[in-house]
Amino acid sequence: MKTSDKIYVAGHRGMVGSAIVRKLQKEGFTNILVRTSKELDLANQAAVEAFFEAEKPDYVFLAAAKVGGINANNIYRADFIYQNLMIEANVIHQAYKHNVKKLLFLGSSCIYPKMAPQPLKEEYLLTGTLEPTNEPYAIAKIAGIKLCESYRDQYGCNFISAMPTNLYGPNDNYDLNNSHVLPALLRKFHEAKENGKPSVEIWGSGSPFREFLHVDDLAEGCFYLMQNYDGKELVNVGSGEEITIKDLALLIKDIVGYEGELTWNTSKPDGTPRKLMDVSKLASVGWKFKIGLREGITGVYEEVRNKEFAI
């Protein structure tokens, strides 16, 4: 990519898309193309076609998606599969029709089977049944990977797929009804500290293992892949390090400075017992994460706790 190339970042207001925009700006790119969901409904085929016809981007980062945690994925199952299928099908097809030089599709680690061997290797895709709570979302993301592979096979398109692990960072979602575990814990501990609550309830048993990556690291990884990787196969993007939900809660409790107790609501689902990425393929391409978990969470908390509505 040249700094003057027209680069479309789909989903630029989201956590991932905004991090990619920050990275591109930092690298001196001056022709970044963005649209809000009100300006361009990516689920509308005609609207997406008109946009590509008018703008003709050179490169595309497809970070737009309908996302949420266990609760949202389980309740809004139709919304999650429909919206994500439409977004990726429309953008990928128009990228092909309008001769985009390269497209990077962002998936999710939930594409892998629930009981897949750990750590998760790229070749484990479609080798077993998915986690039931987010199956519709996962199937949509798998379809996106297969779209990229199929357009490459049939038309020679340079479309690549990256699978991020669990993310956190600027522009995260702190709504307790549909946020992911790390921002939800940050908000719970912050509010408990502010309100002098004696305890904080946490969903599940605390035993599942999770891997986390700062979204600025993901943006670095995506930028690196766009410049250096042209393979058909999807690539995991993660830290390769894991932590139990219990230890994550204790870490956030310490960072926030909350001194109360933890209670575990085991009537709530744990989700997948373990979800660690094998990042050896990404390492072989030449990239590794930089931001440690304590450093990253501390930075996020310093940023959001002073914003009026952020947390």
Residue 270 assigned ligand-binding role: yes
Residues contacting 88, CB < 8 A, separation 6+ = 62, 105, 140, 143, 144, 147
Residue 127 assigned ligand-binding role: no
Residue of 187, 178, 239, 233 whose CA lies nearest to 209? 239
Residue 15 assigned ligand-binding role: yes
Residue 262 assigned ligand-binding role: no
Residue 280 assigned ligand-binding role: no
Residue 164 assigned ligand-binding role: yes
Residue 41 assigned ligand-binding role: no
Between the CA of residue 101 and those of 4, 115, 203, what are the distances in Å? 14, 37, 44
Residue 16 assigned ligand-binding role: yes
Residue 180 assigned ligand-binding role: yes
Residue 166 assigned ligand-binding role: yes
Residue 107 assigned ligand-binding role: yes
3-state secondary structure the chain: CCCCCCEEEECCCCHHHHHHHHHHHHCCCCCEECCCCCCCCCCCHHHHHHHHHHHCCCEEEECCCCCCCHHHHHHCHHHHHHHHHHHHHHHHHHHHHCCCCEEEEECCHHHCCCCCCCCECHHHCCCCCCCHHHHHHHHHHHHHHHHHHHHHHHHCCCEEEEEECEEECCCCCCCCCCCCHHHHHHHHHHHHHHHCCCEEEEECCCCCEECEEEHHHHHHHHHHHHHHCCCCCCEEECCCCCEEHHHHHHHHHHHHCCCCEEEEECCCCCCCCEECECCHHHHHHCCCCCCCHHHHHHHHHHHHCCCCCCC
Residue 56 assigned ligand-binding role: no
- Whether 137 is a known active-site residue: answer yes
Residue 165 assigned ligand-binding role: yes
Residue 210 assigned ligand-binding role: yes
Which entry of 96, 137, 151, 224 is annotated as an active-site residue? 137
Residue 108 assigned ligand-binding role: yes
Q: Which residues are annotated as a binding site for substrate?
A: 188, 203, 210, 270
Q: Which are the catalytic amino acids?
A: 137
Q: Which residues are annotated as a binding site for NADP(+)?
A: 11-17, 106-109, 141, 164-167, 180
